[in-house]
């Protein structure tokens, strides 16, 4: 019996999950990647100084902008756990993605006047510059300088979602509805989804390098990925943490029940799959915080909480994992439901003109938690959907792909058409790096 062939589209690049997977070039073998690896670019830059060097960096950004990203699937990430391989891929891939976001920032009229946007641009340009100029050599010692550049990039971008959301709030306040949610929400979705992938690649590299350095790199090492992520266990961990936050903020302890099920006999009722536990926790935390806060606000006594339990139902088959979070906190009005995915919407009593996040608490306030959690679900081809039943409660479904080859990065890019050609054409698109 022949295997069923399914075609997956990532940007404009597509491949078959069965027949073509072995024929797809390995990510670290992409055309002209050796140009950066051997230091050709950095050697060219060594003869430049001051303004000449900065102009050259700007020219390189312009050259990288039209290049298309090379999204990975989970299996490919697991296939290149060694820092030499992942570093080789990262050294070209991250500058391509960073250059694209620089383009998006510079497309905003007067972006330099926006303090937060200027700061975000500065991080992107510095990261691009540092990666372009650093030499990456063989061996653990040969990776030392390169690793320091990656560490700095990750550390300096820790607050990126809040910085860029603050920049959008500034635009809305000073430029009006031209930069309202209709424009800002899709812009932020693309920007942050691109950023999530960039940071995962860099963080995965750092985990790999540190494991080699400490002697913890063995057959079981998978970096940020858990090949046997126990979904129910992660749900319980997140539930316990959220309940404690709710107690601190409201003096009330909501009841959260976790119920695992599976239609796959191999699971024995406890679904596990290859995933990034840290990302799963981000998704669950934001959704559950909303349910816990709404439930606590609905009751006056702790005894009433027992009648309004929050349930986290985990289920799976061979292809997918689904988590449903139900509460009975009264739901969201129909006219509000459509706004919960906006970065300008917050459950705190904020109004236009307020300082970004000035009334934020551990349970609510910044307004980016729910849309950001949806992006973390979407990053590897999943989804997050919300349904409100006003007067009763809210239900959120988190759908995730279970098969590693189908957990494919979603990387927004305006120039995907440049990636439609053959490997020779992609090689030519990077040929300037050899000059």
pLDDT tens readout for residues 73-127: 999 999 999 999 999 999 999 999 999 999 999 999 999 999 999 999 999 999 9
pLDDT tens readout for residues 140-162: 899 999 999 999 999 999 999 99
Q: What is the pLDDT of residue 156?
A: 95
CA–CA dist 108, 103 (Å, integer): 9
List the domain boundaries for the chain: 20-224+420-434, 226-406
71 secondary structure, DSSP code? P
pLDDT tens readout for residues 351-360: 544 544 445 4
Confidence of residue 296 (pLDDT cuts 50, 70, 90): very high
Neighbours of 176 (CB within 10 A): 10
20-224+420-434 and 226-406 in the same fold? no
pLDDT tens readout for residues 31-53: 544 454 344 565 666 667 778 88
More confident residue, 422 or 282: 282
CA–CA dist 399, 394 (Å, integer): 16
Say which residues have a Cβ less than 8 Å from residue 299's Cβ, sequence separation at least 6: 252, 305, 308
Q: What is the second-level CATH architecture of the domain 20-224+420-434? A: Up-down Bundle (1.20)
More confident residue, 277 or 361: 277
- For the structural domain made of 226-406, what CATH number should be given? 3.30.565.10
The answer to whether residues 311 and 260 touch, using CB atoms and an 8 Å cutoff, is: no
**331: which 2 tokens?**
């739901």
More confident residue, 157 or 415: 157
Q: What is the pLDDT of residue 14?
A: 35
Distances (CA, A) of 167 to 9, 105, 123, 348: 32, 10, 14, 19
**Alpha carbon 429 to its chain's center:** 27
More confident residue, 24 or 86: 86
pLDDT tens readout for residues 266-285: 888 899 999 999 999 999 99
pLDDT tens readout for residues 162-200: 999 999 999 999 999 999 999 999 999 999 999 999 999
Mean local confidence (pLDDT), 230-244: 97
Percent of the chain past pLDDT 70, that is, above it, reads 80
Q: What is the pTM of this model?
A: 0.85
């Amino acid at each position: 019996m022949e295997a069923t062939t399914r075609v997956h589209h990532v940007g404009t690049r597509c491949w078959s999950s069965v027949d073509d997977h072995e024929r797809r070039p390995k990510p670290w073998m992409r055309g002209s990647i050796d140009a950066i690896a051997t230091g050709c670019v950095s050697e060219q830059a060594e003869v430049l100084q001051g303004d000449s060097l900065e102009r050259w960096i700007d020219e390189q950004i312009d050259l990288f902008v039209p290049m298309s990203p090379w999204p990975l699937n989970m299996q490919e990430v697991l296939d290149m756990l060694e820092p030499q391989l992942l570093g080789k891929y990262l050294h070209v891939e991250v500058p391509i993605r960073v250059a694209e976001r620089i383009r998006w920032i510079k497309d905003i009229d007067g972006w330099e006047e926006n303090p937060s946007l200027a700061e975000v641009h500065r991080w992107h340009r510095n990261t691009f510059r540092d990666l372009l100029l650093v030499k990456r050599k063989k061996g653990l010692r040969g990776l030392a300088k390169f690793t320091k550049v990656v560490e700095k990039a990750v550390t300096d971008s820790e607050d990126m979602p809040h910085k860029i959301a603050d920049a959008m709030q500034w635009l809305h306040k000073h430029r009006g509805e031209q930069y309202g949610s209709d424009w800002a929400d899709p812009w932020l979705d693309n920007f942050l989804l691109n950023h999530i992938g960039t940071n995962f690649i860099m963080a995965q590299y750092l985990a790999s390098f540190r494991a080699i350095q400490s002697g913890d790199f063995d057959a079981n090492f998978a970096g940020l990925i858990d090949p046997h992520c126990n979904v129910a266990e992660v749900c319980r961990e997140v539930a316990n943490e959220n309940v404690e936050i709710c107690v601190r903020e409201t003096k009330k302890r909501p009841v959260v029940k976790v119920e695992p099920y599976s239609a796959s006999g191999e699971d024995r009722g406890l679904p596990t799959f290859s995933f990034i536990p840290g990302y799963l926790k981000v998704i669950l935390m934001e959704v559950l915080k909303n349910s816990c806060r709404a439930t606590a606000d609905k009751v006056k006594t702790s005894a009433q909480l027992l009648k309004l339990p929050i349930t986290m139902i985990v289920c799976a088959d061979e292809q997918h994992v689904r988590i449903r979070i139900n509460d009975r906190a009264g739901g969201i009005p129909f006219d509000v439901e459509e706004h919960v995915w906006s970065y300008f919407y917050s459950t705190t009593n904020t109004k236009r003109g307020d300082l970004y996040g000035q009334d934020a608490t551990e349970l609510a306030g910044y307004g980016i938690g729910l849309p950001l959690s949806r992006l973390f679900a979407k990053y590897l081809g999943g989804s997050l959907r919300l349904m409100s039943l006003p007067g009763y409660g809210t239900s959120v479904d988190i759908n995730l792909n279970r098969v590693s080859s189908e957990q494919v990065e979603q990387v927004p890019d305006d120039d995907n058409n440049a990636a439609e050609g053959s490997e020779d054409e992609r090689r030519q698109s990077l040929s300037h790096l050899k000059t």
